[in-house]
Structure 1
Amino acid sequence: MFFLSDMLNKKLQLPKSNEALPGRSQPIPTAAKHHVSKRTLKGPYPEGLETAMFGLGCFWGAERLFWQTDGVWVTAVGYAGGMTPNPTYQETCTGLTGHAEVVLVVFDPAVVSYDTLLKIFWEAHDPTQGMRQGNDVGTTYRSAIYTFGEAQYDAAIASRDAYQASLQKAGMSKITTEIAPAPEFYFAEAEHQQYLAKNPYGYCGLKGTGVSCAIPQKVEV
């Protein structure tokens, strides 16, 4: 019983560097192409496209949400924000890699804005739950926005503050979402890529708060 309790506690706390699993030097195998769009998963991507990265619980349902969005060119699921290089799914589930399950989103900013992606992110899950999302408990299911460049970072912070105000009015708790410059992204195994396209009746734990997110307007200077 002590061992089980200890493991459960670890899954609610990020590991220290001396606790993290060693991982490996080579990437784990993954799919070559997106199961739905048939576009190359790892690139190179067409010129003019931008990249975003979001963690909002189990990445199966989260990825479908974004690949169904107009203007998104390709999506992939993987692991980010931890210490273990090239982790496997089984390793991340132990809570001893430090990674979150995330979705990499490659999008055309002429068709869909980063602000729109942020709105989708906030409204699709509950960002107040800490190291869990619904019944999915553990550090891998934490809410996270990993940003590419200063403009994305500023937009993410502004959207968080605006959404926090809306949640507060609705009597909800403080946002626990991690917002940080994008760390290295490790592609998940092939079976996890576009999982719900291959398994239409598979598990999807996405559940929002019911509170809409009004993205603040940028001030021209």
Structure 2
Amino acid sequence: MFFANASKMQMVRPENALPGRPDPLPLTEPHFLSGIDLKSPVPVGMAEAMFGMGCFWGVERKFWQEPGVWLTMVGYAGGFTPNPTYKETCTQLTGHNEVVRVIFDPAVTSYEALLQVFWENHDPTQGMRQGNDIGSTYRSGIYCYGPEQAAAAEASKEVYGARLRAAGLGQITTEIIPVPTFYYAEDYHQQYLAKNPNGYCGLAGTGVSCPIGLAV
């Protein structure tokens, strides 16, 4: 958790980012709930999604509870530092966001349904923060696996933005970009709230419902 200051509310410039390291961080534990290897290949017929919406502990729990989600994992993406550590991302000098990668079965759930979960469970108008969590690591982001996801994300942003404006809230600041390199977070962050049921979760939506994924 961070206290607000100007430097944490701005993205680091690439030339000022931490150097990182050439090798990935070790990841030895399987998914705490399913026992599936977090580095398993995506099964035939399944699809991927990636979101940033604040502290990744609570975000991952939100998605692993969704029907049709086969596997979830947390990590860092969207920045400049290769293979960063958690402590490095906390300096706000890597440019990375805390993200959740989701592998899901489109025969059971849809990408639009996952977008609904995304929009309704955080405040996408806050810029480089979510509530008391301040910094570029907590920015709102949709990271798209291909043009179809990008189109769906942009369409949902337009619809939900209108709902937010009607409710008197601000403009959406969510970044929607092609999926960047995903760096796995350390073992102890994976499925953190399953391992620590009373652990911190800063997720809080706006209370405005999103029609994406609903039969309306």
> What's the TM-score, normalizing by structure 1?
0.93
Task: Figure out how many residues of one structure are paired with residues of the other and give that number.
Answer: 212
Kept in 1, the 8 Å contact 2:113–2:213? The answer is: no
Counterpart of 2:105 in structure 1 is 108
Structure 1 residue 30, shift from structure 2 partner: 2.0
- Match among 122, 125, 130 for residue 122 of structure 2: 125
Secondary structure (helix, strand or coil) at the match of 2:113 reads helix
- Match among 92, 95, 111 for residue 95 of structure 1: 92
Q: Which stretches in structure 1 are left out of the alignment for 5+ residues?
A: none
- Match among 13, 23, 27 for residue 16 of structure 1: 13
* Paired residues for 1:1-221 under 5 Å: 8-215=5-212
CA distance in 2, matches of 1:179, 1:165: 17
1:13-57 CA-to-partner distances (Å, cap 9, x unmatched) read: 111111100000000112441001111101113111100000000
Secondary structure (helix, strand or coil) at the match of 1:18 reads helix
CA distance in 2, matches of 1:8, 1:176: 18
CA distance in 2, matches of 1:31, 1:92: 21
Identity across matched positions, percent? 62
- One-letter code aligned to 1:69: E
1:192-216 CA-to-partner distances (Å, cap 9, x unmatched) read: 0000000000000000000000128
Structure 1 segments (4+ residues) deviating >2 Å? 7-10
Aligned-residue CA RMSD (Å) = 1.4
- One-letter code aligned to 1:190: D
Q: Which stretches in structure 2 are left out of the alignment for 5+ residues?
A: none
Compared CA separation, residues 216 and 203, structure 1 to 2 (3 A): closer
CA distance in 2, matches of 1:107, 1:128: 27
> What's the TM-score, normalizing by structure 2?
0.95
Kept in 1, the 8 Å contact 2:116–2:213? The answer is: no
